[in-house]
Amino acid sequence: MSADLTAGVALLPVAVVSLREVRTARELPFASLPLLFALHQLTEALVWHGASDYVSAGVQHAAALIYVLFAYPVLPVLVPLAVLLLEPHGRRQRVAPFVLLGAVVAAYLLWAVLDGPLVVREEPHALVYGVGLTYGTMWAVLYVVAVIGPSVLSGYPSIVVFGLLNLVGLTVVAIVYVEAFASLWCVYAALISTLVTVHMVLRRRLSDLHRLEGQALAPA
């Protein structure tokens, strides 16, 4: 619980910086990731409180449902779409298939979550969310490909690093504690989302630099 609270609160100022760098609607989905991850971690803190009887069972269930809906059906669509919107027109074709794959994965996971039942089990260092997936390993692999693939294939080095570090986190969690995959990886991904802010700041600074150079080279 403390890790969720710490990650969520720590990301809020990072999220503000990221969103301040937004200049076009195409940048908003990617720049919003730190804020969404921050709220996601704070939501899981409520789930922990429910497991410790600090909040009602109804509040815990609502928080768990929101947490799982973001982790399962939202992220496999949001992340590839956010990367796609950032890429220049000529590079979007290599990212577009991941958006379609993410939509397929999201559709199945949304059905699985809503079909229920959603069961939350407290472990010493993580929460285990039971959704009852059929062919869970196959969908987990497709999920990873949809979420990580676009970032690794991006033309921006900072986004590539973001993708590779998330791949490392996914692999470690899958090997060490696969049952708590959603809970542990989302904490890790939330912290790694600070690289989103790094990208947004660099993107804006380079854009401003090119604009100033263009002005300097323009005829008087």
pLDDT at 179: 61
This prediction's pTM = 0.84
- Locus of tokens 């720049």: 31
pLDDT the model gives residue 57: 78
Q: What is the pLDDT of residue 182?
A: 65
Low-confidence ranges of the chain (pLDDT < 70): 1-3, 49-53, 55, 176-185, 205-220
pLDDT in the model for residue 142: 92
Phi/psi for 12 (5° steps) reads -60, -50
Q: What is the pLDDT of residue 119?
A: 85
**Cis preceding-peptide flag for 219 (omega within 30 of 0):** no
Q: Is 70 left (phi over 0), alpha (psi -120 to 50) or beta?
A: alpha
C-beta neighbour count of 153 within 10 angstroms: 18
Tens of pLDDT, residue by residue over 97-143, are 999 999 999 999 999 998 878 888 877 777 888 887 788 788 888 99
Q: Is residue 115 classed exposed, middle or buried when 0-12, 13-18 and 19+ CB atoms within 10 A define those classes?
A: exposed
